[in-house]
Chain A
Amino acid sequence: MDFDALMLARIQFGFTISFHIIFPAITIGLASYLAVLEGCWLKTGDRVYRDLYHFWLKIFAVNFGMGVVSGLVMAYQFGTNWSYFSDFAGSVTGPLLAYEVLTAFFLEAGFLGVMLFGWSRVGPGLHFFSTVMVALGTLLSATWILASNSWMQTPAGYEIIDGQVVPTDWLAVIFNPSFPYRLVHMGLAAFLVTALMVAASAGWHLLRRNDTPAVRTMLSMAMWMLLFVAPLQAVVGDFHGLNTLKHQPAKIAAIEAHWENHPGRGTPLTLVGWPDMEAETTHFALEVPRLGSLILTHSWDGEIPALKDFPKADRPNATVVFWSFRVMVGLGLLMIALALWAAWERRRGRLYSSRPLLRFALYMGPAGLVAMLAGWFTTEIGRQPWVVYGVMRTADAVSPHGAFEVGLTLVLFIVVYFIVFGAGTVYILRLIRKGPAAFAPAAPVEGGPGETHTPSRPMSAATEGETRAAPVMDQG
């Protein structure tokens, strides 16, 4: 394995997982949102909730399909491209992945059919149960995969015998030091992604004067979610950062571009700058004295390990993680600002009519996804040069392929992903543009519970037309 093939393999993994992570994040948030909507519909009988359920269900279906196929790639890529890692640590990551498949993937898949196509084939209670099971599946899935990912960041509960990882304590493996923080941080991120997407959709319709009760409900629910979760995410992020400082100090040093300590002067916080790995300095640095100490050690002159304390070969790329971290934090602050502004306008009764606010909400639509990806880059690139932190180097994990086959498959992945997921994104945006409509159950001639026929209308959950009885435009 030469350097080029290693780099290509890393790019391939980064590319396929960055694409993949988008879909499950939306799936996690939307599934819970759908469960809440269906619960509200069953409890209140207010048709707005039912209409919203069916509106977002179509988007959920398109997104879910993309998540399934891009996820399948991940399950095999560990073996095709990272065979030494799989052989070395498969004894830990394998059982965790197996539990994810058993408890989450099958649960989602088993109840998804009923959730998407079973509205008029099972009773309301059973349908709601299916939605809840799918939502539960998405959360369980996140739990297992983050246990596995966290173990690679902060390995625990294992021994190395004959060059293989042997798990000795499964509770310690699963509840490894960074797992609880990462799970909560990622779960909240998924909810933020979805809330911002829902809010932006509502903002788009309201800006075009498509002011319906359903659109208003969307915006209202999204902003409540944002108001509670965005500030909470900042607090959780702070705890996660302190946990990283304890277990992966090199990552924090790189994030902060903290090259060396000057005893007695505390740790400054570099707001912006250009960390230079070769010159071991940060160009154009704008620093706030002692703020780093305050944030990271909660003291006036606390020190944190600096990059120069680590051998050059053990340092993550500060140029990348310095900036990816700042993108994430900056967008997080904007999310909090949006939530507070919306709360203020709500008090003034202008939540649905303040055009600057609606425009801000629209622009913030993709912010959740961008922030999540930036955070993901920070934690994963910050783990380098290790694949299992402190235990196995990425360079030792990669399969013995040449640059030709890794390059060929990388090009194929890029072409296929842009065609397929580009088309999917267009379809999702088209669905959003149509907006929520009054739901009329498909002609129940063949569809009722106990009927022997499966409805033969196109069984795409995202079919347009058949669920749209009459547009509810111009009600407001």
Chain B
Amino acid sequence: MGIDLALLWAIIILFGILMYVIMDGFDLGIGILFPFVPGKEDRDTMMNTVAPVWDGNETWLVLGGAGLLAAFPLAYSVILSAFMLPLIFMLLGLIFRGVAFEFRFKASDARRHWWDKAFICGSVTATFFQGVTLGAYMHGIEVAGRAYAGGPLDWISPFSVFTGLGLLAAYALLGCTWLIFKTEGELHDRMLKLARPLVWTLLGVIAVISIWTPLTHASIAERWFSLPNFFWFAPVPVLVLLAAYYLLRLLPRQPHAGPFVLTLCLIFLGYSGLGISIWPYIIPPAISIWDASGPVQSQGFALVGALLIIPMILIYTAWSYYVFRGKVAVGEGYH
């Protein structure tokens, strides 16, 4: 045999979702933070920091879906039909968020507040239901034969609502530190003040999930707390604490890119933690990536494209960020 196609595809999809969480995370975070910044000029600036890139950021979500369909059609059909309602709520949120970028500047002054609200509600809705879906996914999906066997509302649980709220905190921190990175002046200072409570909130969320999941799922407790796993995975929580410590220390020192980079580390570590808990199940709690694999012919064909093209995508995406590098100043050239 040689190449483990299922493993490679799992890595590609996990990478795609991570890229999405990070990149659309700060876009959505800006929408979540909008209510804390009432001024129109500041809001213009906030949107301008992501206007040229949000569409590319969102594309990683489409790659996640398409990759899942290509490589693990069973997982795609079961997971998506299990979470039909929260996913459609998320999509509707993303619709309002996405069109607000153009519509907000097109509307008359009297109507603009509607698209501000659409941007806020869209971002919050999309984030919350992504988090809810994540929580429900961790919890597991009932399968009979090759189809989802649960009810339409099985995704609602205290845990999934908590992860929904938790993701709001995570994206808010991403958006906040992104703005520290990309703005200056009053907006920059305001974000510096917001960052501290957000870091503590996110740490709280991570702590609660780290306690909650092993208590309710024996397999997750086994994964983390058995030997020698405990020593292999211990660096994850240790690094979370280190990153948070440096982040909090950095905030009073008029930082720029630093808090954003450290938040990326936090998000990456949290994401890894969830991955460690679930691996190698693609439909928790019982169907592994190998069980859910599509035909070799499909995985192989799509893999060639993914391996050739993803590096090119990363290069021209980086170029696009480079073109729009630097601080977005407040109020300049705008009347």
Contacts and interface: CB of A to CB of B under 8 A. Distances in A.
A102 B106 CA distance: 31
B59 A446 contact: no
B66 A97 contact: yes
Given A113-B323, A166-B295, A456-B48, 11 more contacts: A65-B101, A84-B147, A90-B69, A94-B302, A101-B59, A101-B66, A113-B51, A167-B295, A413-B88, A442-B333, A462-B102
Interface of A: 61-62, 64-66, 68-73, 75-76, 78-81, 83-95, 97-103, 105-114, 116-118, 121-122, 161, 164, 166-168, 170, 399-402, 404-405, 408-409, 412-413, 416, 420, 423-424, 427, 430-431, 442-443, 445-446, 451-464, 466
A107 B313 CA distance: 7
B51 A86 contact: no
Given A84-B147, A97-B66, A110-B316, A90 B328 contact: no
A100 B211 CA distance: 41
B101 to A, nearest CB: 6
B181 interface: no
A445 B58 CA distance: 31
Given A443-B333, A459-B48, A451 B326 contact: yes
A458 B107 CA distance: 12
Contact of A91 (B51, B73, B105, B182): B73
B334 A454 contact: no
Contacts of B77: 79, 83-87, 90, 399
B47 interface: yes
Contacts of A84: 77, 147
A457 B327 contact: no
Contacts, number: 304
Interface string B299-332: 0011001100110010011011001111111111
B80 A80 contact: yes
Main secondary structure on B side of the interface with A? helix
Contacts of B334: 456-458, 466
B14 to A, nearest CB: 15
A83 B149 CA distance: 12
Interface of B: 44-45, 47-49, 51-53, 55-56, 58-59, 61-63, 65-71, 73-74, 76-81, 83-85, 87-88, 91-92, 94-96, 98-99, 101-107, 146-148, 152, 182, 294-295, 297-298, 301-302, 305-306, 309-310, 313, 316-317, 319-320, 323-334
Contacts of A442: 333
A113 B59 contact: no
Contacts of A106: 56, 59, 63, 309, 313, 316-317
A166 B65 CA distance: 20
A458 B102 CA distance: 10
B73 A86 contact: yes
Interface residues of A: mostly helix, strand, loop or mixed? Answer: helix
A98 B332 contact: no
A368 to B, nearest CB: 23
Contact of A73 (B47, B95, B326): B95
A108 to B, nearest CB: 8
A458 B328 CA distance: 11
A271 B317 CA distance: 53
B303 to A, nearest CB: 9
Contact of A460 (B68, B91, B106, B306): B106
B312 to A, nearest CB: 8
B326 A460 contact: no
5 contacts: A69-B99, A78-B80, A98-B70, A105-B63, A424-B102
Contact of A117 (B74, B294, B324, B329): B324
A458 B48 contact: yes
B329 A453 contact: yes
A423 B104 CA distance: 11
Contacts of A451: 326
Contacts of A66: 99
Contact of A95 (B44, B49, B298, B328): B298
A425 to B, nearest CB: 11
A452 to B, nearest CB: 4
